[in-house]
Amino acid sequence: MTLFEALTAARQKIDRLDARLLLQYATGCTHTDLLARPEMPVIAPAWAQFAEWVERRAAGEPLAYLVGEAEFRGRVFQVSPEVLIPRPETEVLIELALERLQGLEQPRILDLGTGSGIVAISLALECLGAQVIAVDLSAGAISVARNNAGRLGARVDFRAGSWFDPLPGERFDLIVSNPPYIADGDPHLALNGLPFEPQMALTDQEAGGNGLACIRAIVAGAAAHLNPGCWLLFEHGYDQGAASRNLLAAAGFKAAFTHPDLAGIDRVSGAHL
C-alpha cells in the first residue's frame, strides 16, 4: 500500500482534506511527501491506524477527537471526548476580554466552565501578569485543561466545582464563560459531530427549557464575585442576545451589549457593575 493508494481509498469514504490530514497523522508524512513521493509505502501499523480513523470519521466522529488535538488562536490544544472541540467563534470572547483588561495591572480573571482551557490559557498567555482561575464541574475536563496549560506554559489555577462554588469570598476584575447554552432536545444536537461531544458542555439539560439555565446561574452569581465597575462576558446561542441582555439588566448590571462573530451572528453578551 502506497501513500497514493491509501489516500485514494479514503477519498471514497470521507472528505478529501480530512483524508489527507488523517494520513499525515497516521504515517508522519508531510503534505509535501504526499505530493512529491506518492509512491512511498505505508507500513502495516500506520495503515491499520489510518483505516480505523477513516471508518470512524465516516461515521461522523470529529477529526479533532481522532487525532487528539485542535488549533485555537495559533496554538495547538489537546482535546478528548471529555471536552468540547475549540471553535473559532470563541475568539470573539477572547478579543472582548482583552479590550476590557487594557490598563489593568495583574488583573484577576475567572473562566467558568473552562473545558479544554482555551479561554483561560489564551488570556493567561496574552495578558501578561494576569492571575487566571478556571473552574469546571468535570474532573476529566480539568485534567485536559491542566495538561494544556502545562504544555503551553500558561499559569492557571484550576478548580473543580459548579460555577462559583469553589470561589467563596473571592472577587475578580473580569469573569468570562462559554457555558452550555443549547436547549435540551434541540435537533442541532444530533448534527455535525455533536453527538460525540460531551452533552453536559453543550446543553443545560433542563427539560423543556430554553438553553439559558447556565447563563442565568452565572449572571445571578457574578455580581458577588466582581470588583466594582468590572465586567462579565459570556458566549451564547445565535438567538439568545436579547434574553442575555435582559438577564444582565435585571441583575443590576450596566451597559449590557451583544457582539456578533465574524459571520454576523450574535455571539457574546456582557455588562459591568
**Could you tell me the residue range of the domain that residue 235 belongs to?**
83-272
Separation in Å, CA 4 to CA 24, 128, 151? 12, 47, 34
> Are 118 and 225 part of one and the same domain?
yes
**CATH code (residue 194):** 3.40.50.150
pTM score: 0.93
How many structural domains comprise the chain?
Answer: 2
> Are 161 and 35 part of one and the same domain?
no
Q: Specify whether the CB–CB gap between 64 and 72 falls below 8 A.
A: no
> Are 131 and 264 part of one and the same domain?
yes
> Are 32 and 95 part of one and the same domain?
no
> Are 124 and 249 part of one and the same domain?
yes
H or E element, residue 134: strand 131-136
Q: Is 226 part of any domain?
A: yes
> Are 93 and 197 part of one and the same domain?
yes
Q: Which three cell numbers stand for residue 158?
A: 484550576
Question: What residues does 258 pair with on adjacent strands?
Answer: 269
> Are 105 and 192 part of one and the same domain?
yes
Count the Cβ atoms, other than its own, within 10 Å of residue 229. Answer: 9
Residue 48 is predicted with a pLDDT of 97
> Are 87 and 211 part of one and the same domain?
yes
Q: Specify whether the CB–CB gap between 34 and 5 falls below 8 A.
A: no
Beta strand pairing call for 131-136 and 156-160: parallel
Residue 185 is predicted with a pLDDT of 87
> Are 112 and 242 part of one and the same domain?
yes
Q: Is 248 part of any domain?
A: yes
Q: Specify whether the CB–CB gap between 97 and 174 falls below 8 A.
A: yes
> Are 186 and 52 part of one and the same domain?
no
Q: Is 32 part of any domain?
A: yes
The helix/strand/coil state of 64 is: helix
Q: Which three cell numbers stand for residue 61?
A: 466522529
Q: Return per-residue pLDDT of the chain as tens, 273 residues.
A: 899 999 999 999 999 999 999 999 999 999 999 999 999 999 999 999 999 999 999 999 999 999 999 999 999 999 999 999 999 999 999 999 999 999 999 999 999 999 999 999 999 999 989 999 999 999 999 999 999 999 999 999 999 999 999 999 999 999 999 999 999 888 888 888 899 999 999 998 888 889 999 999 999 999 999 999 999 999 999 999 999 999 999 999 999 999 999 999 999 999 999
Half-sphere CA count of 36, side-chain side, radius 13 A: 5
> Are 223 and 129 part of one and the same domain?
yes
